[in-house]
């Protein structure tokens, strides 16, 4: 039972951070106005959101933002390595953090 508790206590902080990062990139993509905002604007907003939400393990330098097929793509996939027990390390791989913004409407 003690080993299970240690495992849970090592995994939960990384999982909670992942959920927060996922929420932030989804919100930033939904609020992005492609007609008036650029990629640096989006990068700046994401950086402020990460700081405001006290997310320190994932920085704006870890997030790729690029244009593809007329939309802006936010790619925040990452791995988190952590000490598990003794000489064993744990790895959590979050590879579903790719979000596209809405395309710019042409008028």
pLDDT tens, position by position, for the chain (107 residues)?
888 898 899 999 999 999 999 999 999 999 998 888 999 999 999 999 999 999 988 999 999 999 998 899 999 999 999 888 889 899 999 999 999 998 876 54
The reported pLDDT for the residue numbered 52 is: 95
The reported pLDDT for the residue numbered 35 is: 86
CA pair distance 81, 89, nearest whole angstrom: 7
Q: What is the DSSP string of 61-95?
A: GG-EEEEETTEEEEE--EEEEEEEETTEEEEEEE-
The reported pLDDT for the residue numbered 105 is: 67
Domain extents for the chain? Answer: 2-100
The reported pLDDT for the residue numbered 86 is: 86
């Amino acid at each position: 039972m003690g080993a299970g508790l240690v495992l849970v206590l090592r995994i939960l902080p990384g999982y909670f951070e992942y959920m927060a990062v996922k929420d932030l990139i989804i919100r930033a993509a939904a609020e992005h106005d492609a007609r008036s905002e650029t990629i640096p604007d989006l990068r700046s907003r994401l950086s402020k959101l990460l700081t405001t939400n006290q997310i320190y393990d994932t920085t704006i330098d870890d997030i790729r933002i690029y244009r593809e097929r007329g939309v802006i793509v936010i790619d925040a996939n990452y791995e988190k390595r952590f000490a598990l027990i003794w000489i064993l390390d744990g790895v959590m791989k979050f590879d579903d953090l790719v979000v596209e913004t809405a395309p710019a409407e042409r008028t």
